[in-house]
Chains A and B, each alone.
Chain A
């Protein structure tokens, strides 16, 4: 089937928009910023390079069919686009407000909106959503507990034994290198995974895949630079961080997330990281800085807002596609 150039352009624009939105809500570098391991300018440059490289090298995987397990009817192309665009809009709004949200939650909110709009309450597979919601509630708890334990362990075995400024300097430098390595790896793989979802909508339209991935990767990195900095700043400032404490919150989150993904458990990385920083503040008996309640309110609003956006967008998109 020959697809007209205007349609291809529209799809590319949508793909760019989705990549931008995902990049804008990427909080991967938050602890690097919070622990002052890199300056904002340095981490934005590094984040952009890793985003483009990750998208180009790892982004070739076929994107998942969004919503196929959660809707009780057949998913059309206009439904997929509605879900992706409404999710992206909510990601951009949250990013502008400096709140890292779960892309999965936003997507599911949109799916519920479309499902209810098309087939009423019966259009959504509530059992699957209930099963998932168990993990949504558990993600922050796991993040909190894991960070609390890891921080206490690091503190007891390493930090409390440090003697003198020099020792602190040396140890924190080592932690900062490890942290930077882990975060670069996370940013690289995250860009690959997320961009493959955004690029997936244009792959198959006969456009060069490499070109699509580069465009999506660049959009993702622009998202990080333009709005991502707000999210990075707000998460990185939840509590005072040094490389060792940033390590204590970032690494367990990354490991648990990796294991969760491997076992097919839908954990939210953003929720885990934010709550793990609260766990860190508790473990260190350090004060929490402001902004947490704003993030929590946006988390709560994610499902209804994404659903409303999907409902509003479905008809115009269905009309075009």
Chain B
């Protein structure tokens, strides 16, 4: 029996998206601070807290989601898969935050501009993803277009990643710094690539649904 105080699945998901975006926004701001050598590492805990809060909301979401598998069990399973995939993106955000806490160098000046673009791209894609997830509920065509947009942006980000790595690998001094900075770039790109994977999955669902 549904409690009258119990939130609907939409409300819970909206709460989850809000917290996800809050974490992404904070991470983006902190990355900019890092690029400008103004990073307060203790602030990175905010991203980790957001991830934990999202985990808590996700648990509630799953509980409500599986309360009623009647009539459309595959829709329940698809929604579960979506939130699990998004949760993985949050996990990657948390990983970067923890990585940044122990990253002992400043960013190479010659890659700072491109790296900032990459961080912004990551934040933009997270925004696109949450919009796509909203559209999945009411507008398949709109969601489909968004996933194509995500794919296009990811393609540009891939070029940027190799350009950044190309610059980093040319450096001959401080091999640890080279290694860790390349890891930093790869970690940010990892979120971008993962968001595109989610977009691919959503596009598959959009194609599949009318034939179910």
Chain A interface (Cβ < 8 Å from any Cβ of B): 35-38, 155, 159-160, 162-169, 172-173, 176, 240, 242-243, 284-286
Contact = CB atoms under 8 A, between A and B. Distances in A.
Given A160-B210, A165-B79, A284-B211, A242 B71 contact: yes
A163 B72 contact: no
A308 B17 CA distance: 68
A169 B75 contact: yes
A160 B206 CA distance: 11
B70 A165 contact: no
Interface of B: 69-75, 78-79, 135-141, 143, 209-212
Interface centre among B70, B73, B141, B210 (most CB of A within 10 A): B70
Contacts of B143: 164
Contact of B138 (A37, A160, A167, A242): A167
Q: Is the interface of B mostly helix, strand, loop or mixed?
A: helix
Contacts of B141: 163
B210 A162 contact: yes
Given A162-B210, A163-B139, A242-B212, A36 B70 contact: yes
A167 B136 CA distance: 10
Contacts of A159: 210
Nearest to B71: A176
A164 B140 contact: yes
Contacts of A242: 71-72, 74, 212
A286 B208 CA distance: 12
A36 B69 contact: yes
Interface centre among B71, B74, B136, B139 (most CB of A within 10 A): B71
Contacts of B140: 163-164
Nearest to B72: A172
Contacts of B75: 165, 168-169
Contact of B135 (A35, A36, A164, A172): A164
Contacts of B79: 165
A38 B135 contact: no
A240 B211 CA distance: 11
Contact of B71 (A36, A166, A285, A286): A36
Given A242-B72, A242-B74, 4 more contacts: A36-B72, A165-B209, A172-B72, A176-B71
16 contacts: A36-B69, A36-B71, A38-B70, A159-B210, A162-B209, A164-B143, A165-B75, A165-B137, A165-B138, A168-B72, A172-B71, A176-B70, A240-B212, A242-B71, A242-B72, A243-B71
Contacts of A286: 211
A245 B140 CA distance: 21
A166 B137 contact: yes
B210 A165 contact: no
A172 B75 CA distance: 11
